[in-house]
A = this chain, B = another copy of it.
Amino acid sequence: MRPNKRDELVRKALTVFYRNGFHATGMDMLVAETGVSKTSMYKHFRTKEELILAVLRLRDENFRHWLYRRIEELSDTPEGQLLAMFDALSEWFEKPEFRGCMFIKASAEFQEVNHPIHAQSAAHKQILQDHFASIAKAAGAAEPVKLARQLLLLKEGAIVSAVMARGGGLAGDPAADAKEAARGLLTLHLPQG
């Protein structure tokens, strides 16, 4: 039961769950895709739920670190970084494997408020919101937390709209629209206008 074996299982399970959904993905499919035996799988994870929670923890790390790094690469001012988030999102939306936000989907499939999967999804959003708030504060926003919440609304809306627009079912460029809206909000929130 090497720990890196477990990590590898989590990594592969992530791609299958992301592509296929949680309820629609059976343990048999995961076993087939990872090449591991069913018994070994259940040695590493006592239940499917435990596996999903491990997948979400990994996704939280991966996604946040990718986003944080990317917006720092794209701009070195706090204000610019808040806008660069939408450029990073745009890059994500254009990847062929893009299938929306894993946490939105997880909270949609596990709706009970007290369910660990639902709670963990909400925690991810809260961490992002806090991060945006700290950047907004550095940018000199009068109400950094409020600005962060509004930017998070635009981000979530852009992700959902990008999913709908993926096959041409919804018109518009969600990332670009969100960025323009964010620019408007920034001019209203930042002292230098």
Looking at chain A's contact residues, the main secondary structure is: helix
Whether, in the assembled complex, A23 has its beta carbon less than 8 Å from a beta carbon of chain B, the answer is: yes
- CB neighbours (8 Å) of A161 from chain B are 125, 149, 152-153, 156
Q: Are A109 and B24 in contact (CB under 8 A)?
A: yes
**What 1/0 flags go to A1-40 for Cβ under 8 Å of B?**
0000000000000000001110110000000000000000
CB<8 Å pairs between A and B, sample of 18 = A23-B23, A100-B107, A100-B108, A108-B108, A119-B169, A122-B167, A122-B169, A146-B180, A150-B180, A152-B157, A153-B153, A153-B154, A154-B181, A156-B156, A156-B160, A157-B160, A187-B188, A188-B188
